[in-house]
Amino acid sequence: MSTLHVHHLNCAHVTTMKLDGLVLACHVMVIETPSSGLVMVDTGLGTADYADISSRLGWSFAHLYAKPTVDPSLAAIEQIRALGLDPHDVRHIVQTHLDLDHVGGLSDFPWAQVHVHATEHQAAMARKGIKARGRYRPGMWAHGPNWQTYATEGEPWFGFEAVRALRGLPEEILFVPLPGHTMGHCGVAVDTDQGWLLNAGDAYFDRREVHQPQRECAFAVGMFQRVVTTDKALRFHNQDRLRAFIASHPEVNVFAAHEPGAAQLGPIRTTTDTALMEGTTRSASRPAH
């Protein structure tokens, strides 16, 4: 039985886009582990972002196409404290990718190891092209994180290839390559005592893209995705894979980083001791590693 304990946080409100009448979230997972301390999946926006939103995020993101609410209490480090946990226990941060709205809080945890796909790390360091220069903000890792990078290699998991465990983390936490949004984008799977969770990151935004037979997406959200996507064909390919996976494995709880309400979890509250997957079953194999 898994001994992991998962908290779901919302670490930013993206006010320019809505799904089902709710503004987009920036979902962060905080996982209590028996031997690896606290493990975060993404960080959302951090204290430095909320203190100087224009400089940290860039004028366009801060004031034009995202307009995040300036609320320092949303920073993950503040929410971790509110949960009664010690932020210094955050020993590992697993990044689905390195877009600014997913890494702003890195500087709040400078002691943590940061796990990321090697392709994503290379793209973020190189920042080639206008799109890359907009999404990757070097100030967010100016503190010099302890990067842990991973090539595309591993074992099959539920039909996904090159899935692997991460150095120093429990085997219940897996890296699942889902490129397209960025070329090094990955999902993160977590095996809990109530079943598997799959945080699909930005592989999709609108749950109707993958949680029903025919793909649908809200207009503004779809336009935004088209603008920020690195490889549209690859993104659609992985959405097709997710759609088939969800249809075949309803016991796995799949959700995305910006869904206002993650599948089977209800709305992502600011600090919540998650109910995880009520009424679901635990199944499926863990890849060999």
> Residue 187: its pLDDT value, please?
98
What does R_g of the chain's alpha carbons equal in angstroms? 17
Number of domains, the chain: 1
The rounded average pLDDT for each run of 10 residues, N- to C-terminus, in the chain (289 residues) is: 85 93 94 96 98 96 94 97 98 99 98 99 97 97 98 94 97 97 98 92 96 93 93 97 96 94 42 32 42
Q: Is residue 110 part of a domain?
A: yes
Q: Is residue 282 part of a domain?
A: no
Dihedral sign computed on CA atoms, order 9, 1, 172, 277 = negative
Q: Could you list the residue range(s) of the whole structural domain that residue 76 is in?
A: 5-260
Question: Of 59, 157, 158, nearest to 100 (Cα)?
Answer: 59
Q: How many Cα atoms are found within 13 Å in the side-chain-facing hemisphere of 149?
A: 13
DSSP 8-state secondary structure symbol assigned to residue 45: S
DSSP symbols for 48-91: HHHHSHHHHH-HHIIIII------GGGSHHHHHHHTT--GGGEE
| Total length of the chain | 289
Q: Which residues of 219-240 are buried (b: 16+ CB within 10 A; e: fewer)?
A: eebbebbeebbbeeebbeebbe
Query: How many other β-carbons are positioned within 10 Å of the β-carbon of residue 109?
Result: 25
Terminal-residue alpha carbon distance, the chain: 19
Q: Is residue 204 part of a domain?
A: yes
Decide the pairing of beta strands 113-117 and 90-94: parallel
Q: Is residue 26 part of a domain?
A: yes
Run of H or E including 265: none
> Residue 286: its pLDDT value, please?
59
For residue 237, give both structure tokens: 């390919």
Q: Where are the alpha helices (DSSP H) in the chain?
A: 47-51, 53-57, 59-60, 76-82, 100-103, 118-126, 130-135, 219-228, 232-248
Question: What CATH number should be reported for the domain holding residue 218?
Answer: 3.60.15.10
Q: Which of left, alpha, beta for 266 (phi over 0: left; psi -120 to 50: alpha)?
A: left
Q: Is residue 132 part of a domain?
A: yes
Decide the pairing of beta strands 146-150 and 113-117: parallel
Q: Is residue 175 part of a domain?
A: yes
Q: Which of left, alpha, beta for 184 (phi over 0: left; psi -120 to 50: alpha)?
A: alpha
> Residue 2: its pLDDT value, please?
64
Beta bridge mates, 14: 24
Is residue 180 helix, strand or coil? Answer: coil
> Residue 278: its pLDDT value, please?
30
